[in-house]
């Protein structure tokens, strides 16, 4: 399960400390931001969140989540990852066959990047 590519801001008083929340999000590959910006995807707002942050988030179209909403979103993504179809051996070998040419390249081959 991953929150890769999601920019999150945590604000307000929450059941867990802000550093705990930020570390948890980072452990799921989220990018934790210090303030609401045009690149912010989610504002996780606890109690006593400042009106300025909420207002800015709304103005920028940032999704505003409670702490419980955040955990629910994590669970939903985890459930979706578990339900993802697994490839059987034949399908996997077929998909990997297209990559076998990579092993035939000389080790010193440069692609210019």
**Structure confidence by residue, pLDDT tens digits, 29-63:** 999 999 999 999 999 999 998 899 999 999 999 99
**Residue whose token pair is 């570390």:** 23
- How far from 51 is each of 8, 47, 48, 55, 94, CA to CA, in Å? 18, 11, 9, 6, 54
Give the per-residue pLDDT at 100: 52
- Residue 2's pLDDT band, with cuts at 50, 70 and 90, is confident
The domain limits of the chain are 7-101
Of 18-22, 56-60, 96-100, minimum mean pLDDT range: 96-100
Q: Does domain 7-101 have CATH number 3.30.420.40?
A: no
């Amino acid at each position: 399960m991953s929150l890769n590519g999601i920019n999150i801001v945590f604000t307000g008083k929450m059941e867990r400390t802000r550093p705990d929340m930020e570390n948890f999000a980072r452990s799921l590959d989220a990018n934790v931001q210090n303030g609401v910006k045009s690149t912010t995807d989610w504002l996780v707002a606890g109690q006593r969140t400042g009106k300025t942050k909420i207002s800015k988030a709304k103005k920028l179209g940032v999704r505003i989540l409670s702490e419980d909403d955040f955990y629910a979103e994590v669970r939903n993504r985890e459930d979706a990852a578990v339900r993802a179809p697994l490839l059987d051996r034949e399908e996997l070998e077929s998909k990997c066959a297209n990559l076998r040419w990579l092993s035939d390249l000389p080790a010193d081959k440069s692609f210019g990047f």
